[in-house]
């Protein structure tokens, strides 16, 4: 199978995942297992863990860029693969938390409230946009399409880094309000 036909096949999968993942997260975000009568303990210990995963993802992304600038393609690939795994684990933990715990309201007032919501909204929007970008960037590298990989990586990297860093910032800003 040629790289072009492989890329077409993967683009279809990427498109499906880019629609299904945000829809599944949104649907599961609204499901509270306790409200449905399940006897589950709230997983209140998860937010610092998934915030840490966001921080690790940011570090991995920066390390991956440094690795490729030094010509270490293998390390670059490994770091990005681990960054994707961290993002997937984050997603599972995030859903688990929200399915077992009530959402925490931000308690800040004044300017800080607007700063928090700006960061949160841009974080959420870009976390949806980043899905097809990460998958496409990764797929192009795996297929050896390095010129197009490099082009899209220049967009993917800063957006993904922003999502990872703002995930930590959102956690730090809301953590004083966890019950």
pLDDT for residue 4 is more than 80: no
- Is residue 96 included in any domain, yes or no? yes
- Is residue 159 included in any domain, yes or no? yes
Q: What is the pLDDT of residues 40-88, one digit of tens each?
A: 888 999 999 999 999 999 999 999 999 999 999 999 999 999 999 999 9
Provide the pLDDT confidence category of residue 97 given band limits of 50, 70 and 90: very high
pLDDT for residue 5 is more than 90: no
- Is residue 73 included in any domain, yes or no? yes
CB 133 within 8 A of CB 152: yes
Compute and round to an integer the Cα radius of gyration of the chain. 18
CATH code of 134's domain = 1.20.120.80
Q: Which domain holds residue 72?
A: 38-177
- Is residue 166 included in any domain, yes or no? yes
User: Residue 1: what pLDDT?
Assistant: 66
Predicted structure pTM score: 0.92
CB 15 within 8 A of CB 132: yes
Q: What is the pLDDT of residues 113-161, one digit of tens each?
A: 999 999 999 999 999 999 999 999 999 999 999 999 999 999 999 999 9
- Is residue 29 included in any domain, yes or no? no
How many domains does one find in the chain?
1
Phi and psi based region of residue 71 (left: phi greater than 0; alpha: psi -120 to 50; beta: remaining): left
- Is residue 25 included in any domain, yes or no? no
pLDDT for residue 178 is more than 90: no
């Amino acid at each position: 199978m040629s790289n072009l036909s492989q890329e077409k096949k993967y683009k279809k999968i990427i498109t499906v995942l880019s629609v299904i993942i945000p829809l599944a997260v949104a649907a599961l975000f609204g499901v509270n297992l306790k409200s449905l009568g399940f006897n589950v303990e709230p997983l209140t210990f998860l937010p610092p863990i998934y915030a840490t995963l966001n921080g690790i993802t940011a570090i991995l992304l920066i390390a991956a860029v440094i690795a490729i600038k030094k010509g270490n393609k293998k390390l670059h690939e490994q770091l990005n693969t681990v960054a994707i795994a961290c993002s997937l684990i984050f997603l599972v933990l995030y859903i688990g938390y929200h399915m077992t715990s009530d959402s925490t309201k931000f308690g800040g007032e004044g300017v800080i409230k607007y700063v928090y919501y700006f960061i949160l909204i841009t974080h959420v929007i870009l976390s949806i946009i980043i899905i097809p970008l990460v998958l496409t960037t990764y797929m192009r590298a795996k297929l050896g399409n390095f010129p197009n990989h490099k082009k899209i990586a220049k967009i993917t990297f800063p957006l993904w880094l922003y999502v990872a860093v703002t995930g930590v910032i959102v956690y730090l800003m809301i953590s004083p309000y966890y019950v």
